[in-house]
């Protein structure tokens, strides 16, 4: 289904450049209100992260929804997964998130959750886009939507997060450093982890509208790694700007990425007899996770890159666990979308249950070295392997790898780039082969 504005994760771009402008967001609020109002009287939730443009877009959405006759419940700064949860529990028709996730502050975006707390179906997004083409109108004054603030939203979500682990879990004696990326978890995560008993130190909890994701959070965990070692902490946890991604750091300062966290959670569910279906990763998921899961008797299925596709595959195969190496982890036996805080709690619950450190828990998985080359091209063909020189080069590389690695050629969805990824046991060999294959792709598509 071709869409003009919606991408794989809502509508996103640079603030002030179409479509991320206040006039467009006003019209978007009105269009969404018209679509959701077709089912009868409706109220929607609106939450945001901490970037400065959120104030502007919150007001624009509120005005558009009001013009359509829809009531708005404003949550203020809240993690994206919190808005998904509250949409469900507060019986809203939809939840709207103003966020550009892990992007820097000049970017922003709008994404929607359904009443079930899941990504909006394609048909709904298409209906909103169709409504955007119509002239905007305003309902009669007595039908205008009202707006109200939900003051207890943080407390509701904090209690939900704690409910995803055993109520008897006590992390007393565990020292944790949190990095909240100066984003939407800044006033949530410290409460969650301290209320389950841990001693918490927090960085990235001073948002000013401009510093979200700046040299901090899950995309830049170097500061957290240093802090964990300097403080002699047991581990560190880093979220991205809107709280749907998480990576962790063990007591030595080593990074534990999304693939390793997914392995720990899968093994925990298996030990408890509560594992269901295959684990779903993406084309970028490390081969080491696939092999480690196979040793546990679990299958890894690979979806296209993007949490939307991971969710679709999970639902189609009745799975409960999926995610990406970036730290977007979905635990469908606990919640309806990727949730950084909930995922981190599942790992801590396994540490508590097993008595093992984070470093010990990840030992069952050995990550294969990965090399990624970005090749700038004039055009991006639909099927790279149909290009004869590229096909020959891939066959030659696979022969050299001899079953101990894999190749992935993938066009970027946002720029004129072909991503050439190689993975294998021999780091020097895949470095060499990635360079050779990238040169063939560059020559073939010059």
The residues carrying an active-site annotation are 101
Return the bridge partners of 417, or none: 376
Distance CA 271, CA 267 (A): 6
DSSP per-residue codes, 174-227: -EEEEE-TTTTTTTTHHHHHHHTT-EEEEES----SS-TTTT-STT-THHHHHH
Helix (H) or strand (E) holding 352: helix 340-354
269: left (phi over 0), alpha (psi -120 to 50) or beta: alpha
Which of 375, 394, 397 lies closest to 385 in space, CA to CA? 394
CA distances from 279 to 133, 294, 321, 424 (A): 41, 10, 5, 21
Distance CA 156, CA 420 (A): 44
Which of 364, 369, 373 lies closest to 429 in space, CA to CA? 369
Measured distance between the N- and C-terminal CA atoms of the chain, rounded to whole angstroms: 31
Which of 354, 59, 55, 349 lies closest to 208 in space, CA to CA? 55
Q: Give, in degrees to the nearest 5, the angle at Cα 239 between 47 and 409.
A: 105
Antiparallel, parallel or unpaired: β 43-48 and 94-98: parallel
Rg (CA), the chain: 23
Q: Give, in degrees to the nearest 5, the angle at Cα 265 between 419 and 214.
A: 50
Helix (H) or strand (E) holding 432: helix 427-444
Running DSSP on this structure, what letter comes out for residue 363? Answer: G
Long-range contacts of 430-434 (CB under 8 A, 24+ apart): 430/369, 430/370, 430/371, 430/401, 430/405, 431/371, 433/397, 433/400, 433/401, 434/371, 434/372, 434/373
User: How many CA atoms does the CB half-sphere of 160 hold within 13 Å?
Assistant: 23
Residues 6+ apart with CB under 8 A from 229: 252, 253
């Amino acid at each position: 289904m071709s869409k003009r504005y919606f991408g794989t994760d809502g509508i996103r771009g640079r603030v002030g450049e179409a479509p991320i402008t206040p006039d467009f967001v006003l019209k978007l609020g009105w269009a969404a209100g018209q679509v959701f109002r077709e089912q009868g009287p409706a109220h929607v939730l609106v939450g945001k992260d901490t970037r400065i443009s959120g104030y502007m877009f919150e007001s624009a959405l509120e005005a558009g929804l009001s013009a359509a006759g829809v009531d708005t419940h404003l949550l203020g700064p809240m993690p994206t997964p919190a808005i998904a949860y509250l949409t469900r529990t507060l019986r809203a028709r939809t939840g709207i998130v103003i966020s550009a996730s892990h992007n820097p502050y000049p970017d922003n975006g709008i994404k929607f959750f359904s009443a079930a707390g899941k990504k909006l179906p394609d048909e709904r997004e298409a209906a909103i886009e169709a409504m955007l083409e119509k002239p905007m109108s305003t309902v009669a004054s007595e039908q205008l939507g009202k707006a109200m603030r939900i003051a207890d939203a943080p407390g509701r979500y904090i209690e939900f997060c704690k409910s995803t682990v055993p109520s008897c879990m006590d992390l007393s004696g565990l020292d944790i450093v949190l990095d909240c990326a100066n984003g939407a978890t800044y006033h949530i995560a410290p409460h969650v982890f301290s209320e389950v008993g841990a001693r918490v130190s927090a960085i990235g909890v001073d948002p000013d509208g401009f510093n979200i994701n700046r040299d901090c959070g899950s995309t830049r965990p170097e500061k957290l790694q240093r802090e964990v070692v300097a403080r002699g902490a047991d581990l560190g946890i880093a979220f991205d700007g809107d709280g749907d991604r998480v990576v962790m750091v063990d007591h030595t300062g080593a990074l534990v990425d999304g693939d390793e966290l997914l392995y720990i959670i899968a093994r925990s569910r298996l030990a408890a007899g509560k594992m269901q279906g295959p684990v779903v990763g993406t084309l970028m998921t490390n081969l080491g996770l696939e092999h480690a899961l196979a040793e546990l008797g679990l299958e890894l299925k690979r979806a296209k890159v993007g949490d939307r596709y991971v969710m679709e595959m999970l639902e189609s195969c009745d799975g409960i666990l999926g995610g990406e190496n970036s730290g977007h982890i979905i635990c469908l036996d606990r919640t309806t979308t990727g949730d950084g805080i909930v995922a981190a709690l599942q790992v801590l619950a396994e540490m508590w249950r097993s008595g093992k450190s984070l470093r010990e828990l990840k030992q069952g998985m050995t990550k294969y070295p990965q090399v990624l080359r970005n090749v700038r091209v004039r055009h991006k063909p639909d099927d790279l392997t149909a290009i004869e020189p590229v096909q020959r080069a891939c066959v030659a590389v696979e022969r050299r790898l001899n079953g101990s690695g894999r190749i992935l050629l993938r066009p970027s969805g946002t720029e004129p780039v072909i991503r050439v990824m190689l993975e294998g046991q021999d780091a020097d060999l895949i470095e060499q082969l990635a360079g050779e294959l990238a040169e063939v792709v560059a020559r073939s598509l010059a």
